[in-house]
Structure 1
Amino acid sequence: MEQWWYNHKTGEVEEGPQSLAVDRDGPFETRAEAERAPQIIAERARKWAAEESGA
């Protein structure tokens, strides 16, 4: 099964874990998801913050 990663240091999408774990986010099921990683991560962070604040 293919897995895609987003390297937040370089802004590049990687097929399989190619860079250091500290520099990448994932895995994602598709390249398109990995390309949207910054937006997906921001959405998740907002959701978690809202849950923690009880909103």
Structure 2
Amino acid sequence: MAMKNLLQQFIEDETGATAIEYGLIVTVLSLVIIGGVGRAMDALQWLFSDNNSRLVQAFSP
């Protein structure tokens, strides 16, 4: 009977759930930010390396 009560208390215990949820949110957001920065860097690299770009022509001597 004591084992059943202990297991029931464990299942109903929600302490620490908020910390885990915040940790998951931070993880997902950081993955999105890292992916976005990578795509932005690729776009900037293409912008400065495309010979037909007006930006490249403006900075060329």
Q: Give the alignment's TM-score, normalised by structure 1.
A: 0.38
Q: Which has the larger radius of gyration?
A: 2
Q: Give the alignment's TM-score, normalised by structure 2.
A: 0.35
